Structure 1
Amino acid sequence: MALAKKERKKIDPNGWLLTYGDMITLVLCFFVLLIGEPAQDSARMQLLSAAMGGLGPFTGGQTLDEGPLALMGSTVNALPSSQRKNQMGAAKAQAQHLQSQDQNNLIQQVVEDPERGLVITLAGDVLFAPDSVELDIERNRRMLQELAILLNSPELAGMTYRVEGHTDSVSPEFISREFASRFRSNWDVSTARAINVLQYLVDYGAPESRMQVTGFAGTRPIVFGDDPESRAYNRRVEIVVLTRGHL
């Protein structure tokens, strides 16, 4: 009995103040760090917010140091854009190889557009007669098959494509009466030509579910001029491997 009383006397009734003081000190340190960090350092702020999860009852030990794990997080976030850049590079190399093998000069150029993506330009006068939207398949079958294989290649898995039709500034009514009776404007002509190219690409194996089609008439010339050579250069169909911003 005397021993029990002696042990009770050893208990400090103010012992809780030590734990309370530790907690107040941690909270004070947090706000000092919070106010002292520049507002523009968003990565540091995110780390500070994440560390708050370790200040609950009986937990802790989380660090505010942006060490290798934080750097790894930045690397992981950059992986999708890095993978897409590699895919664009692979597509460009393969398209340029096809262009070098193109005896009919169907592929006018292969360029990377920072806004749209990789643009493969096909010569409209090689694909179509001036007064027609029907594709000259006998002349262009092999190259369209090769382009379809490219669009369906494992290197471009998951990519989205758009087939764009473009005409010159000459209205169908100035080409022929029959042509004007079928197509009211170059909007109809450019869209019909783009659809026909898309259909052949799909027939040859291009992934239809990842394809888009549109017509721009003569609103997006790449050569400004009303001479025959400029108009011929503007009559084209473009296959665009789209960037994420244009999906």
Structure 2
Amino acid sequence: MKNRRKHFDDEHEEHIDESWLIPYADIMTLLLALFIVLFASSVVDKQKFMSIMESFKSELTGTKIESNTTGLSVKPSDLEHSDQAPNEPQQQAQAAEENIEDQELLDLKGRIEKYIADNQLQADVSLQDTKRGVEITFKEVILFDPGRANLKESSYHTLDAIIGLINTVPNPISIEGHTDNVPIRNSTFPSNWELSSARAVSVLHYFEEKNVTKERLQFVGFGEYKPIFPNDSAEHKQANRRVNIVILRNS
């Protein structure tokens, strides 16, 4: 009896647990699959290789990739979580602000046009909408005496009306002086540079006195170097002697 039991125990001890073979076989299978894929990718074209690599990436990261005839693309649903997604609301807001500004400047241009027409100023004041903004052009004759930079008192009424309209928008304002090419040399203005700048400054100070916010104002004198016509006739020279008031776009 003892001999039979001992024989049974020996048989039991010799039995080895082989459950480790299952994960080992799985690992070997995966390695085999990997080697097959690597071998296959070495003989396919670049597009197929990229498809395989993106497939691995999608499995590891959870990103869904769709292939098409030109390559791989991410589904629109995945773009909602990309780094570019937060920029879309900002771009939409910026576009909305630009549309509002464009409309405000368009409305302002319409009101200034009406004022010019109602007061029959078309011969001396012109208006245009440019990329820079709304540009009001005053001929010299309405603002200054020849060779002088002090505003005429007769110009105050017109400037006051324009300032009232301009103050309906918050945009910056550029005041720009221009002359013809006739040289000026005196103790006050050694050249047309000084004359054009002094005229622009006179208009700027008038705006300042009328409580236009100083931070909105800037000026420049161009002298004779930005004519709108060749200085080949008295009429053209008169048109070139001007001051532009530009209500600038913010963007």
Which range, TM-score by smaller chain?
Answer: 0.5 to 0.7
5+ residue gaps, structure 1: 1-13, 15-22, 52-65, 174-179
CA contact (8 A) 2:149 2:199 kept: yes
The structure showing larger relative contact order (alpha-carbon pairs under 8 Å, at least 6 residues apart) is 1
2:175 aligned partner: 163
Say yes or no: does 1:98 pair with 2:110. Answer: no
User: Which of 110, 113, 116 pairs up with 2:127?
Assistant: 110
Task: Classify 1:105/1:31 alpha carbon distance in 2 versus 1 (closer, same or farther; 3 Å).
Answer: closer
Counterpart of 1:49, as a letter, is S
Looking at structure 1, the residues matched to 224 and 184 of structure 2 have their Cα atoms a distance apart, in angstroms, of 12
User: Which of 137, 140, 146 pairs up with 1:130?
Assistant: 146
Looking at structure 1, the residues matched to 179 and 149 of structure 2 have their Cα atoms a distance apart, in angstroms, of 11
Looking at structure 2, the residues matched to 105 and 29 of structure 1 have their Cα atoms a distance apart, in angstroms, of 65
CA contact (8 A) 1:165 1:214 kept: yes
Task: Classify 1:98/1:48 alpha carbon distance in 2 versus 1 (closer, same or farther; 3 Å).
Answer: same
Deviation at 1:225, TM superposition (A): 3.2
2:214 aligned partner: 208
Looking at structure 1, the residues matched to 58 and 156 of structure 2 have their Cα atoms a distance apart, in angstroms, of 77
Work out the percentage of aligned pairs sharing the same amino acid. 26
5+ residue gaps, structure 2: 1-22, 24-56
CA contact (8 A) 1:104 1:126 kept: no
Looking at structure 2, the residues matched to 44 and 228 of structure 1 have their Cα atoms a distance apart, in angstroms, of 68
Say yes or no: does 1:37 pair with 2:70. Answer: no
1:58-115 superposed Cα distances (whole Å, 9 cap, x missing partner):
xxxxxxxx9xx9986653331121111012112111111221133455752110112x
Say yes or no: does 1:196 pair with 2:196. Answer: no
Looking at structure 2, the residues matched to 188 and 171 of structure 1 have their Cα atoms a distance apart, in angstroms, of 11
Looking at structure 1, the residues matched to 212 and 237 of structure 2 have their Cα atoms a distance apart, in angstroms, of 30
Give TM-score scaled by structure 2 length: 0.67
Task: Kindly tell me the number of residue pairs found equivalent between the two proteins.
Answer: 196
2:193 aligned partner: 187
CA contact (8 A) 1:161 1:212 kept: yes
Give TM-score scaled by structure 1 length: 0.68
1:3 aligned partner: none
2:7 aligned partner: none
Structure 1 runs of 4+ aligned residues shifted over 4 Å read: 43-46, 69-74, 103-107
1:105-150 superposed Cα distances (whole Å, 9 cap, x missing partner):
5752110112x2110001112211112111112x111111111111
Deviation at 1:224, TM superposition (A): 1.6
Question: What is the SS of the residue equivalent to 2:80?
Answer: helix
Deviation at 1:206, TM superposition (A): 2.2
Deviation at 1:204, TM superposition (A): 2.1
Question: What is the SS of the residue equivalent to 2:145?
Answer: coil
